[in-house]
Amino acid sequence: MAQSRKIEIHSVGRKFDGFFKIDEIDVSHQARDGTMRRERRLVFERGDAIAVLLYDAQTEEVIVVEQFRAPVLVARRRDDPRTSDGWIVEAAAGMIDDGETPDRAAIREALEETGYRIRDPAPIGTFFVSPGGTSERVFVYFAEIAAADKAGEGGGIAGEEDIALIRLSADDLFRQLECNQIQDAKLAIAAYWLKDYLTRKPQQ
């Protein structure tokens, strides 16, 4: 681990300040050989996010969402310039608001996106999305839900979002995992965790 190595931040400047932000950081860090190395890097800054996988133990299903993502379309067009497929199945997710804790954000986003009211979401882990280019972290959670927890419709079209709710059996989720069909990293991480969780969970 490298926590004891020296760093020196010389400057941080904002190069783009829109919905997303880009900062340039001038920083020196101590290399493994003890020398100081200086570099300038652009950092894509968009804050932190949460993702939450909802599991209905009574029906043995997960609740996931599907929505259109322009970057997904751009990426898939690198493989096939003719494709119009920009839809992706994901774990419910969203940005953490200023002053909001990750667990409160998970509760809020679960209600907004799926209509389920969750309590005490269990943390799975915290992950850097792409540490070579962005400071964004995703706090991934798990929550068990039941029919009685349904407090709203969820999904639908609101603002910039157009969300479809999907109920997927846990077995189908794991089959997709084994066949490399899950393309959302948040969902893949949560699915691996759920598979282990259900293996360890005492049978009712």
Residue 33 within a domain: yes
- Among candidate residues 73, 93, 173, 86, the one with its CA nearest the CA of residue 136: 93
Query: 3-class DSSP state for residue 157?
Result: strand
Quickly tell me which residue has 């798990």 as its tokens: 142
**Average pLDDT over all residues of the chain:** 94
Residues 73 and 87: their CA atoms lie apart, in Å, by 8
pLDDT in tens, 156-174: 765 667 899 999 999 999 9
- Among candidate residues 179, 111, 113, the one with its CA nearest the CA of residue 150: 111
Question: Which amino acid appears at position 194 of this protein?
Answer: L
Q: Which residues is 55 bridged to in the sheet?
A: 62, 144
pLDDT in tens, 22-46: 999 999 999 999 999 999 999 999 9
Dihedral over Cα of 36, 48, 18, 86: its sign: positive
Cα 3 from chain centroid (whole Å)? 26
The pLDDT of residue 2 is 55
Write out the residue range of the structural domain in which residue 28 sits.
Answer: 7-45
The pLDDT of residue 161 is 73
Of 155 and 18, which is predicted with more confidence?
A: 18
User: Does residue 45 contact residue 22 with C-beta atoms inside 8 Å?
Assistant: yes
Using 50, 70 and 90 to split pLDDT, how confident is the model at 204?
low
Can you give the CATH number for the domain in which 76 is found?
3.90.79.10
Residue 2 within a domain: no
**Res. 56: pLDDT tops 90:** yes
**Res. 3: pLDDT tops 70:** no
Q: Do residues 86 and 23 both lie within one domain?
A: no
The pLDDT of residue 162 is 87
Structure tokens that stand for 38 in this block = 């200086």
Structure tokens that stand for 29 in this block = 């860090």
Percent of residues, the chain, with pLDDT higher than 90: 89
Provide the number of structural domains found in the chain: 2
Q: Do residues 92 and 179 both lie within one domain?
A: yes
145 phi and psi angles, rounded to 5 deg:
-130, 165
Residues 4 and 2: their CA atoms lie apart, in Å, by 6
Q: Do residues 35 and 79 both lie within one domain?
A: no
- Among candidate residues 145, 84, 61, the one with its CA nearest the CA of residue 111: 145
pTM for the model stands at 0.91
